[in-house]
Structure 1
Amino acid sequence: MKTTATALLALTAFSALSTAGAQARISAQSIIVNPSAPDLNVSVRVDRDATGSQNPAYRIGDGIIIRASVNRDAYVYLFNLDPSGAVDQILPNRLGGDNFVKAGTTRAFPAPGDGFTYTVDGPAGQSKVLALASVSPLNLGELSAFKTQQDSFATVNASTQAGLAQALSIVVNPLPQNSWVSDTAFYTVAAVNPVTTGSLFVGTNVSATVLLNGQPLGGSNATYGNLRSGTYPVRVQARGYRDYAGSVTIRSGAVTTLNVDLVPQFRAPVPMPRPVPTPPVTPSGTGGTVLDFLGNLLGAVTGLPMQDPARSAYDQKLGDLEGQGYAIQQSVSTASGFQGVLVKGASSVTVTVDRGADRTVRVNVSETTTYQY
């Protein structure tokens, strides 16, 4: 019984020792790995890789969001390792709350509403995010510390991937094998391309259209950006003004200014037409009766009809206007007389002759002039 008890005690002690004495494995790919197969699982992803199987690229200055999830309640610690070997502790920090993550949930760092962002910094190259999850809080006092009360992020004492792995192995080696696990996300920091574009401001004294390198750019008195650097032909146009043609040099990262005073086009003055006199109208009344009597008498003696007074007045008026330089454009007979249209330059005259009662004739002359401005 005693032997049995002793053997049982020894077995228990050996079991406890083997559970607490698992050595973390340092990995060139994943930094640090639990060599056992714990039932605790952690997953870490960057926002441009939802699967965790890619290596997305970020440019210096881009924002980045890191997401972590666990299958059991756990405390999650996040570290960023940049291409130079510098190590940053992302979580825990003093800005984004605690690092406790509930089972079956995913936490984003930073989360919406945190009021801060993570920004990718240089140098260019391969970067990694290490997530270390533990069922109990870890003592990172030897690895990192908040040096002042104002620090939002802890300063990590370790540098390089090997230094981080060695420091973390000291922290996790005393823990039970089933109590911690790690995962690694990868992303590439791409170099920022040099600025190769500039801007152009074109100012004019009137509203105009700007053409750069033969292509419409837009209206004047505006700034246009994202233009590839170089020297290009430029033309500025406005209706009623002479075109401006020249060249302009766009410089990278700078605003080039071009001010143009457009000159009005020359236009010959339009001559003003002379007033057209209106002939007197034959009065109605007894005069018409006398004309009728004389016309009838002349027709009876000679056997020839007297000429239509309306036609005579119409022909006389057309002749007067032709003498002033007008040209007949249209001449028609109407039910009550005649109508003609004459033109000269920008002016047009309409002559209307109508027969009235008692052999009276009404002559109307109207003038229309078109001015160019």
Structure 2
Amino acid sequence: MKRLMLVVIVILGITAFATSISYDPQGLMFLSRPGAGINVTVNLNKGTGATYYGGETLGVSFSVDRSAYVAVLDIDPSGQVQVLFPNVYDQDNYMIGGRTYTLPTEKATTKYNLQIQSQRGRETILVVASSSPLSFLGNVFSLFDRYPFPYLSQTVNNLSIAINPVFSTNWGMGYTYFYNSYVPFTVRTTINADKRDASVYVDGIHMGNAPVTTTLEVGTHTIYIYTKRNLVYGPSVVNVQPGSSDFHFSLLPNYIYGYLEVTSIPDAQVYVDGEYVGDTPYRDFEKVGSHTVTVSKWGYRDSKQNVYINRDMTTSVDFRLQEKTEEEKRADNIILFSVIGILVVGIVLAIVLMN
């Protein structure tokens, strides 16, 4: 007897709005913090920023680079957050690292489709991964008897309240988005900053480190840029207009600051309170208060000074490094080669064990 497979069609409803989103996109921003060690990728069958029309199937695939518990969330243009996975038909959300999964997964008890409803707007797909079970799904599982694909929140601005506990574990996130029932007029846009390693968020979505080149819909967008040293720009609204758009932003501290200026002979690496900040000649913002400045160069002895940064003032320090003796350099080389040898042996052993 021929086996019949039930196909469940899930309608992705979108309320029509004059603009592509009607919520504050800051609700989507989850700034980098300790523990973000899981790399997450998420893709759509037509690609990020594609247009889908009513009746089309939205294909969502994702992967994690290490085994983790995963949730796939859909944020509609009004800011409502719906859980696409896990769902009543596809509840096992522990995913094996290095594999690519497509909804529905092979673990699903019933086949289902994510089908687009013909209403205008932009949706964001957010994939959350954690080494521990996702606590915010506890209530979601309890709703499966009434809602196969429950809503996690009625507003994206409450999303951080639900997801923040994830950050106490090893975690990661991935974003993508699509347009429903219209083709946006987009412009090639470059976003840059005056600080290296600056993370760029556009409309709440992490786009990578500056400089970022992407295509943005003509109109207003919310930009937020920050570095791990708490130098930020925004959140602020920019207006993307037809033609190539290039934006360059200057970042400022989100704390009370002065300036630290460091010079050395010869030029060397600069560390403030043990953190590498740049090379001499160096000048940048620094938080008001006491700090330890260290300069370091291979073949020379490290040198350090304690400084106090005053508000809106420049504190200058100068170093003259002493070259190490030949005996000290030989000792450094022995340590260096020993470390390299240990790393090589470790890599070889790992390769042998994998085979």
- TM-score between the two structures when normalised by the length of structure 2: 0.40
- Report the TM-score, using the length of structure 1 for normalisation: 0.38
Larger Rg: 1
